[in-house]
Amino acid sequence: MDDEDTPAVVDPAGQTGEGPGAQSARTRKPRWRGTGLRLPRRFKRAKPGSAPGLAPQDLSALPSTPGAARITSIDYSPERVQFEEVDDLADFVARHRPDWSAVRWINVDGLSDLAVIRALAEKYRLHPLAIEDVLHVPQRPKVQPYEEDDAYQARLFVIVRDMRLSNGSLHTEQISVFVGHRTVLTFQETPGDVWNPIRQRIRTAGSQLRRTDASFLAYSLLDAIVDEAFPILEQFGDRLEELEDLVLERSGPDTIQQIHRIKRELLLMRRAMWPMREVLQKMQREPHECFSEITRTYIRDVYDHAVQIIDIVETYREVATGLAETYMSAISNRMNEIMKVLTIMGTIFIPLTFLAGVYGMNFHHFPELDWPWAYPLFWLISVVIAGGMIAWFRRRGWI
């Protein structure tokens, strides 16, 4: 069945303000920065007992930022391809795709303009539960099949988390993917993605993407998101090697902060990738009318990559934990060495302090005070005692 049965009309009553995605993005504090652990606190905000999901008509009552979303559309077939930057949303949703188009990919950057979300939801008859998950970020990576009925078209709804390094810190972003028979819709929180190589493959005549269906495009998008973790892990590995050298050679107060920071970033990557393995496993095992058997075969490769990434993350977390323990042991050993030196110095001066104290007492009758060599003899005895103790400590291996 075609994905464009009924054209939709954009609600002209656009409201000012900020949508749920933009509002939460502006008000939340950046996670995984600074010296303390920032736990996720943005949870689903639906009130207890409220109706499930968000129907398209419900979006008009929510605050929105008109013009804040960027929409791109790509139509392609084995023979032709067409890229379009959507400026007139009303005209775009009112017309059907070209007759030659075998697959249409619509990408939306930004979730603040709810008029865009509503128009696409009505045109492609998206399920209210899926719309709610798109707008209420962050969601746990998951896959949800929706079957064909009178109100909604058959879709395979997938939520994944895209990871990227920015200024040395790891950031994640929710990406929502709707897979239909001939249409793929993607919704991103912010502009920028890792899909430029896929767009280039679509431009290339005779490529496998041009010869396959919409589910293969969805597989390619997921594969690019998962594989983006490998260069990030390479940088984490290099940082762990540098931290290991610092711990063993010249660790300073900032070393433990760097170790804890990379541990937090690895934990963030684990939270993004661990449920992704379940998503890919479910897509691989459970058939769906919008997902071809050929694509399910390719999903196995993405699943293997996800498992490999999780194994590397767990290994790096153990290495980071070991570095933290090694750092604490090094600091403890250094403190013990300092205390040993101070104790030896105090022990050496104990008998010298005793001798000086004896001859500093206020007695009138000291026979040695009348000796001409009494003062040099006192220093000779002090030097002999101190030297003898130092030699004995060295012989015992204490210094």
Angle between helix axes 214-227 and 229-249 (nearest 10 degrees) is: 10
Residue owning tokens 């990576």: 141
3-state helix, strand, coil in the chain (%, to 5): 55, 15, 35
Note the pLDDT of residue 225. 95
Note the pLDDT of residue 252. 73
Contacts of 13 (CB under 8 A, 6+ apart): 60
Going by C-alpha positions, the residue among 196, 173, 183 that lies closest to residue 110 is 173
DSSP string of 27-65? HSPPTT-SSS---------PPTTPPSS--GGGGGGS---
Note the pLDDT of residue 375. 78
- C-alpha 24/C-alpha 112 separation (Å) is 10
Query: CA neighbours within 13 Å on the CB side: how many for 278?
Result: 11
What domains are defined for the chain? 20-37+51-329 (3.30.460.20), 336-396 (1.20.58)
Check if the beta carbon of residue 299 is closer than 8 Å to that of residue 283: yes
pLDDT digits (tens, 9 = 90+) for 147-159: 888 788 889 999 9
- C-alpha 338/C-alpha 286 separation (Å) is 64
Query: What global pTM score does this model have?
Result: 0.76
Note the pLDDT of residue 245. 86
Check if the beta carbon of residue 173 is closer than 8 Å to that of residue 192: no
Pairing of strands 81-86, 70-76: antiparallel
Note the pLDDT of residue 58. 86
Name the stretches of the chain with pLDDT < 70.
1-47, 49, 251, 361-365, 397-399
- C-alpha 229/C-alpha 352 separation (Å) is 66
- Show the tokens assigned to 66: 């008109």
